[in-house]
Amino acid sequence: MDLMSTPKVQFQRDLGKQKFLQSLPLLVSLLSSRYGQPIPGEAIEQFSSTPSQSTRSKFKVPFFHLFLDLSFESYAPAIAANTAYGGSNFLGSDLAAQEPWTYTGHFQLGRSRNGPWGGAPSVDGLVFGIFQKVSSIEQTVSDLVPGRIYAVSWSQRGRKNGGSGNDINVSLGGSTLYSETDIVDKGQWEAKISTKFEATSKTAVLKFWTTNPKGGDRTVFIDAISITKVQGNIEFINARSRV
């Protein structure tokens, strides 16, 4: 039996594709605002639902294929059932399940719009990650194709109530793809895309971490993590800094 063709896997693929297509205009806007002109590159991955001719003529944009959706939604039942510290609002740093993500430090998991963490809505589903002070999460991703180019995307924002913003760093396979040492804004969610990564094996460890460089109670929220598959000489520019 081909497990990759089962209805469940096909549904997950279709859902991931739909999510990415919905977020594509935001990614285009992010990159366009950084360049101030049409984005260099050419279409590299075509979905079965090909963009319209009008969209193609307006933006010279590389198309990304959603390879892996790494949201925090699998933790929603644990948050809802939590009767210890955090209740149904969040899982505290010593209570967060270590699967599929493993964590260190003060990493926590928050329910969308929960009061203790300032009422911030999640970007994807009902759960977002909370990086308070020094924290990290990591997960081994598989089914990578050696020689193929990938990039990591996610959304981030600072905590509005209490404390201050934190830094954020991202690596894949031990290569740092993004590092924001300035404190993440407390405003709205920002969509981010890393620099490119060329796979050298079928598996790689994806890691997000904070170092709390300015000390004190500092927090950044992370959500909507995914890995996209790309190809060609394309530089991925984030909204603030370049690795």
Last residue of a domain, one of 49, 64, 79: 64
With respect to residue 235, please indicate whether it lies within any of the assigned structural domains: no
Q: What's the mean pLDDT in 60-68?
A: 55
Instruction: With cut-offs at 50, 70 and 90, classify the pLDDT of residue 65.
Output: low
Q: Percent of the chain beyond pLDDT 90?
A: 48
Same domain, yes or no: 108 and 80 = yes
| Host domain of residue 96 | 67-230
Do 75 and 152 belong to one domain? yes
Assigned domain for 181 exists: yes
Mean pLDDT, residues 171-196 taken together: 88
Residues 106 and 174 both lie in one domain: yes
Q: What is the predicted pLDDT for the residue at 223?
A: 96
What local confidence, expressed as pLDDT, does residue 229 receive?
A: 85
Considering the chain, what is the average pLDDT of its residues?
Answer: 74
Residues 218 and 132 in one domain: yes
pLDDT for the residue numbered 29: 44
| β-pair partners for 66 | 228
pLDDT of residue 66: 66
Same domain, residue pair 60 and 74: no
Closest CA to 45 of 74, 17, 85: 17
Per-residue pLDDT of 102-157, as tens digits, reads 999 999 999 999 999 999 999 989 999 999 999 999 999 998 999 999 999 999 99
Last residue of a domain, one of 40, 64, 88: 64
Query: Both ends of the chain: CA-CA distance in Å?
Result: 43
Per-residue model confidence (pLDDT) at position 231 = 58
Domain final position from 64, 90, 109: 64
pLDDT tens-digit series, residues 156-177? 998 888 777 889 999 999 999 9
Q: Are residues 147 and 194 in the same domain?
A: yes
Q: Are residues 37 and 105 in the same domain?
A: no
The DSSP line for 138-185 is: EEEE----TT-EEEEEEEEEE-SSSSEE--EEEEETTEEEEEE-SPPP
Domain identity same for 179 and 159: yes
